[in-house]
Chains A and B, each alone.
Chain A
Amino acid sequence: MATYAQGIRLALHYAEENLGLTDVFGEDVGPPLGGVFTATQGIKCAWNSPLDERGIIGMAIGIALAGGRPVAEIQFADYIFNTIDMLKLAGNLRWSSYGNYGVPLVIMTPVGAGIHGSIYHSHSFESMATHIPGFKIVAPSNALDAYGLMLSSIVDPDPVMYLKSKALMRVKSEHLIPGEPGDLAELNKRINAPIGDRSKWVPDWPAVEDYRVPIGKASVVREGSDLTVITYSRHVLECARAADQLRGEGISCEVIDLRTLFPVDWPTLRRSVAKTGRVLVVNEDTEVTNYGEHLIRKLTEEFFFDLQVAPRLLAGVNVPGVGISIPLEEASVPQYRDVLDTMRDVATQPGRGTTGEWPLLPETVFGRR
């Protein structure tokens, strides 16, 4: 029942008590604010950093090199771009030192649009993040996964980029985090910092338990046979809702929440695409050199002769930013109607099996099919 932000907060609490988490830091991460989205309220090892994104990543690397377990926050992914070479170093230190050093750290940052955050509070980052080898990249879509992926990220021996959706921060989970009270009002009272003076406030943590979502494991949130929809983060909710509506129209869509963007859970994707022969990837990053193109390229290489129709990417449009005005944001990143229409279109488009326009070549020519 916890919100997405509370799921993160509970995970940080559990990890500092049980998993050796040593530092949670970033701009406004410590008291009194506890993070611009409240995700770090009440965390004992949380502290405020200088307004210095490059320094934040450098500090995280240094802490990890010296045996600490840090979770560093870049307040908005929109401000992470000046840290790219630091992220590349975090990603390559184990490789470049031939295993002499590893840097177990977590970089968490809010991503995506959906809160009318204008040009610099709406950026996506997955296409760039997944272009930095050596990182594992996770992007939870609900509070329970936010909790379980955070715990897995903290104990992981390698750097993890934890992309958290701004638009989901206040969304309540359908599933309880193990140990959390079932009543959200009670949880709010126990772990949300009060308005006003917080200097004497101490959270009353529920006895949450260990729960891990394995890195590299996707989740099938809707099963179906006509179309495979691959998505993550906030668009999981839109795609699942569209799948429910399309089911009423007799269209059966399988919706996969990737949860981890790298390494990709190829076995789950393969099983689904082999079944449906139709692929749609949905995200909100700009469409040119989009992470979804990587998924489509790999799946096309493997399933070229099994695909019924051309794979499709529904993504953000390739303009320099997301405008703050409602019509501008809605025209920039996929909305529910776009998701619904595209899923219906890809699922019902005449396929190879109907028209016979795809050549059927001997298996020996192209190897496996």
Chain B
Amino acid sequence: MVDNFGRKSLPWGATGGSQMLDRATKIKIHDLMVKTRCTEETAISMNKQGEGFFWIGGAGEEAFGVSLGLQIRKGQGPAYDYLHLHYRGAPIAMAMGTEPIDQIRQMRATATDRYSGGRQFVEHFAIPEWNIVPVTPTIETQYLMAPGTAHVQRRFGGEGITVVTGGDAGTAEGDFHCCLNWASRPGEELPLLIIVTHNRFGISTPSSQVQASNELNRQAEPFGIRNSIHDGNDVEAIWAALEEAIAYIRKERKPYCLQANVSRIFGHSSATGANRVPEVDCITAFEDKLIKDGIMTRTEVDAVWKKWKEHLKECLAQVRQEPLPDGADIWRHVFAEPATV
């Protein structure tokens, strides 16, 4: 496979993982990838039809995201993994167990939106029972908060880790540097997986115009942080890379910086049209391999798509019946107790 930078092979750090995934896991991964993509496509369609104000999401990051989500130790509190996601985290969340209908609710900004009560853009999860802390629209600020949960985990002990994700463009903010620094203080190293998903663009600006290097993980080297770069469109490769990085952090209680090169299959967001762009589609690539390896047939693959498309139609029909929030609701949750103004 050739990644988005035209590389046929990975420069270093990767450990081929095709033997690590069993048949059932591969089928499960595929199912989750399609489930996520159908949800994204429904949200895009809603935006185009005026049923949602703004779409942004993780379409094109399914190989990376599902592989990560399935390796998370899910639960509440410092014994479990914390996730500081950015706004392309749906594949991760879906692999952890979120349901499409909740994403559709947030897209439509209904009162039933369990993540934000109709206040946030889509894909802004907040799930305390799984340690998914609130996704913020601000670029890179999640890299400043992630050391905090990792700090608590370091003190707590055990094997829980913190995972933070963000895009390549955001690493230009000093916050990325700050995260590397906080994570690697001598004697205070943090169990923190610092991930950069590199899709080569910041909205419309190519990274080649504004960043000298496309191996952003190497910024971790002066801090003594182990790091690697991988083809995030290759399920088996990125699964293995994440597995290795996560195992290292759980055991060594030290940070790791991982770059996954991914596609942005519908562009930045609805602000740039959300139209299909000619990039590597990790789902298509994975399906070709599954069929070639005799794990699934084309008919079985098509059936997965049909199943989730029909499910999303039902979700959308359901959500259309659900109420929008009441205007007076703005006063809820300003403070823990009834607001005093």
Contacts and interface: CB of A to CB of B under 8 A. Distances in A.
A157 B338 CA distance: 12
Interface string A57-73: 11111111111100000
B333 interface: yes
A285 B124 CA distance: 37
Contact of B336 (A62, A85, A158): A158
Contacts, number: 136
A98 B119 contact: yes
Nearest to A102: B336
B141 A89 contact: yes
A66 B153 contact: yes
Contact of A89 (B127, B136, B174): B136
A50 B181 contact: yes
Size range of the interface on A? 35 or more
Interface residues of B, number: 45
B269 interface: no
A99 to B, nearest CB: 4
Contact of A98 (B82, B116, B181): B116
Interface of B, secondary structure class, is loop
Contacts of B119: 95-96, 98
Interface string B110-126: 00011111011000101
A61 B113 contact: no
Contacts of B148: 58-66, 68
Contacts of B136: 89, 93, 96
B203 interface: no
Interface in B128-175: 128, 133-134, 136, 138, 141, 143-153, 174-175
27 contacts: A22-B152, A23-B151, A52-B178, A52-B182, A54-B174, A55-B181, A59-B151, A59-B182, A62-B144, A62-B146, A62-B148, A65-B149, A66-B78, A66-B82, A89-B136, A89-B138, A89-B145, A94-B335, A95-B332, A96-B124, A96-B126, A98-B119, A99-B333, A100-B115, A100-B126, A100-B128, A216-B340
Interface of A: 22-23, 50, 52, 54-55, 57-68, 85-86, 89, 93-102, 133-134, 136, 157-158, 216, 263
Given A55-B181, A98-B332, 20 more contacts: A55-B179, A57-B144, A58-B143, A59-B148, A60-B148, A62-B148, A64-B148, A65-B149, A66-B149, A67-B152, A68-B151, A68-B152, A85-B138, A89-B145, A95-B119, A96-B119, A97-B115, A97-B333, A99-B332, A134-B335
Q: Name the 6 nearest CB pairs between A and B, nearest first.
A: A62-B148, A58-B144, A98-B117, A97-B126, A157-B336, A66-B152
